[in-house]
Structure 1
Amino acid sequence: MPRFDLLVIGGGFGGYPAAVVAAQRGLKTAVVEARLLGGECANYACIPVKAMLSKASEIAAVLSRGFSVDKRFREALEYALKVSQRVRSGIETVLEGYGVAVIRGRAKIRAPGVVHVEGYGDVEYEKLVIATGTDPGYPPGLEPDGKLVHDNRTILSYDGEPSKVVVVGGGPAGVEYADLFARLGAEVHLVEVLDRILPFMDVDLSRAVARYLRSIGVKLHTKTTIGRLEKLANGVEVVLSSGDRIKADIVVVATGRRPATSGLGLDVLGVKLDEKGYIIVDEYLRAAKDVYASGDVAGPPLLAHKAYSQAVTVGLNVSGEERKWSPKAIPLVVYTGLEAVQVGYTLDEARRRGYNAQEARIRLGAISMAVIKGAEYGVAKIVYDASSGRVLGLHLAAHGASEVAGEAALAVERGVTVEELADLIHPHPSISEAIALAAEVAVGRPVNYLAKNKP
């Protein structure tokens, strides 16, 4: 029976980095993966969706010049699958290079120290990391059939060219799918049960993205649910709670995720789950003696970069470094044509936590790069503690905003002040200038912006 110092169940962004970090420190490590290395992000979510959005942007540019493009979705999908393959190959190369064994098959815990891998056999371990991620979740009646109703996995096998699409769910995934199909020329209806899309993001970011989606033709149905679906010979009719009926080629369901813990045998190790089924971990990401959990399976936020950060921390901990995982700033990014970045607290959240919080807000008409990109209706906001000047939150809706999310996270994580941000030289022209300008407004000395309350 093979024996490893560290066994990782799950080869996604919450798993394989832990194996790499441990292997770098001399541990004999292995990763068990039932499907594809890279997990949900590389194969079904972040990477293929962003790749399709990139290709859709190119296709939209061609269409805007009056040219026709056949098989638009197929072209975008084929590109996305190639990108996913390249990312997956890169992960395989890294694991092989560091001597991490990859065991293919579904894992089930037999006893403390022993995991059975279907089609392989039993494996012994000293320490275990559970990084099995999440699966798509959907309300009753909206289960995917892979033909007319899809989730983020089945849509990657769709071989049609939809001209009319209903997207259910106004969170980041749903908003990105709505953007994707609209850019490819389809009529898109986005249905959200709450009163606005991106309901858990800053309200100004939500409004800016909603304005962008409407500008490319997406029809937003907020405070609305799906009454029922009627599958037809050549499509599907969606009956909304408002009474409206929409005939579409396909429905894409993006209503949430559920932890992938069923059938693992976690009870054998004394691992506890919360009320939603996520693994409960301590500040070291420990779930039980010699057992750790990282990534989506350890609870929200369900983000690949959060999973990666946790996996690295776990890799250090199993190697004996005992490091806590307690970040202050985890960027949330929505990758529509007008990208939305939220880092740290909103104004209301900061005040609820007892800060003397204030907010400085600018429209991006004063940012040359936003004007160049035709997105001057975007917004930048800084939430800060008026007593200390410390930055508590940075929020931005702009073309390419994801590229400054790291700077925003650094500012919040390290307690940078608005004075320091205002003094920092940013390149011109760039979207990053919005951060400096918002900071100038916060300290009362904006130069290139006419503030309502002039100093």
Structure 2
Amino acid sequence: MKEITCKLLVIGAGPGGYVCAIRAAQLGIDTVIVEMAKAGGTCLNVGCIPSKAIIHTADDYAHAVAMAAGRNPMGIRVDSPGIDFMRTMAWKDGITGRLSMGVVNLLKKAGVKAVVGRAHFRDGKTVEVETETGSQVVRAENIVVATGSAPVELPMLPFGGNIISSTEALSLAQLPKSLAVVGAGYIGLELGIAFAKLGAKVTIVEAQERILPLYDAALTQPVAKRLAALGVEVRLGTRVKNLSGGGDALIVEDANGEETKLGAEKILVTVGRTPVTEGWGREELELDMEGRFIRIDDQCRTSMRGIYAIGDVTGEPMLAHRAMAQGDMVAEIVAGRRRSWDKRAIPAVCFTDPEIVSVGLSPDEARTAGHEIKVGQFPFAANGRAMTLASEDGFVRVVARADNHLVLGIQAVGAGISELSATFALAVEMGTRLEDVAGTIHAHPTQSEGFAEAAMKALGHALHI
């Protein structure tokens, strides 16, 4: 094949990579993108999107089971609910397939040249791509590394057989009767709750003393309550020692050193994700690292001129929308526009039951940063819309500076609260003050009223509590 030359080469067509390529092409930049699997990356194909499809299915099924058992407070009854899991998976695959093909079409529409294969750097301006039809060389003025991340594998629990990662969990051929989840972070809890609702006996093992350790206890308490209601056994302060000889049970050790054998049909390991920094020729470059991640500046520039890095490979938080924002910014920088990266307003969403949203600083983080603060919190138990949804657990909390009332952070936990994440992010991004939030008319009856009420509470004049 003859060589391809371009102004911008993007390695990886995940959320960050394809957004970067599309935006660059829109700006008139000659752009090539390389992807060795399906367009859309982990998030679209084996992460964010398919997991939400399974979570939604689990929610609907759990509601049907509750109705059949006469536990529905609205008086709705159904008979003999069941689930065709293969049909569920086919529906999920249909969604991911449509979205992946949509990304392909968007790239084509924008004029991006796509190359399918594995990329490997020869030097800082040249990449060789191994395709099905042979080797393709691409020379570029600028290169963006968007290689993403992969599930972390534990040495004593290598993936294979009954030991699965989130990728395999989202493509199971049948529902497991029992599931042991190693790790109580957001991936483990999202999937653990979903499979519990679908009928699996779920046990969660976590080495730390609390679930969702990246969130404060007030936010995770409603989730812990829901886990108990679903019959999920949560073993905190418990370490995995090994796998049983038969491969069908975990050997775990509690804080007192007592060992227990936990039987499970499937063992789901969700102890985090690691950046994909190997396998694409990093050794041919001189990139500065920051621990496991590629070091970048506030414009996503690496230590090598003309090479940028975006998304999971650059550090926490490993979120698709962070990668997308970085990709959009880098495309504009390559096009000659002035942009920089500010991560203060990146919303983090945990799609558990109930959901959790956090944007900006928590109360403890704000105090640690040296701020005198005001905190306002409004419970959904006092919100009419939450009552009509039969989902009163949770609250909205606003953190603001005490002197000028600048909003520093917003946290919330509640049913469907993820849909307010953009509202919260906008408030932090735009530099709103408590008076701005309290003075904005929020539609009634909606859960968003809790946001205004929390701001009023911080100002000392809450109306409904």
TM-score (norm. length: structure 2): 0.92
Q: Of the candidates 94, 108, 126, which is equivalent to residue 82 of structure 1?
A: 94
Hey, what's the Cα distance between the residues in 2 that align with 1:181 and 1:140?
A: 25
Deviation track 1:121-166 (CA, whole Å, cap 9, x = no partner) reads: 2111111000000111022112210x31110122234223211111
1:331 is matched with: 347
Contact 1:52 1:79 survives alignment (8 Å): no
Query: Pairwise mapping of residues 183-262 of structure 1 onto structure 2 (< 5 A)?
Result: 183-230=197-244, 232=246, 236-242=248-254, 243-262=259-278
Letter in 2 for 1:333: V
1:399-423 deviation digits (Å, cap 9, x = unpaired): 1111111111111122211111111
Q: Deviation string for 1:163-183 (max 9, x for gaps)?
A: 111111111101101111011
1:452 equivalent in structure 2: none
Q: Deviations over 1:257-313 (max 9, x none)?
A: 11101122224332222222x111111101120110111111110000111000100
Shift of 1:68: 4.5
The CA deviation at 1:72 is: 4.8
- Paired with 1:106 and 1:325, the residues of 2 have a C-alpha distance of 29
Alignment of 1:18-417 (within 5 A): 18-66=20-68, 67-68=79-80, 72-119=84-131, 120-145=135-160, 147-230=161-244, 232=246, 236-242=248-254, 243-276=259-292, 278-287=293-302, 288-417=304-433
Structure 1 unaligned regions, length at least 5: 450-455
Q: CA RMSD in A?
A: 1.5
Return the alpha-carbon distance in structure 1 between the equivalents of residues 421 and 101 of structure 2: 27
Contact between 1:134 and 1:260, CA under 8 Å: does it hold in 2? yes
Paired letter, 1:10: G
Structure 1 Cα separation of the partners of residues 121 and 337 of structure 2? 26
8 Å CA contact 1:17–1:308 kept in 2: the answer is yes
Asked if the contact 1:56/1:76 (under 8 Å) is kept, the reply is: no
SS of residue matched to 1:244? strand
Residue 437 of structure 1 aligns to a residue in which SS? helix
The CA distance in 2 between the partners of 1:37 and 1:60, in whole Å, is 33
Unaligned runs of 5+ in 2: 69-78
Contact residue 181 and residue 188 of structure 1 kept, 8 A? yes
Paired residue secondary structure (1:179) = helix
Q: How many residues align?
A: 445
Give the distance between the partners of 1:313 and 1:154, measured in 2 at CA: 33
The amino acid across from 1:196 in the alignment is R
- Structure 2: which amino acid aligns with 1:125? A
Report % sequence identity. Answer: 35
Structure 1 position 202, deviation (Å) = 2.4
Q: 1:76 to 1:213 in 2, by over 3 A?
A: farther
- Alpha-carbon distance in 1 for matches of 2:195, 2:245: 21
Amino acid at match of 1:127: N
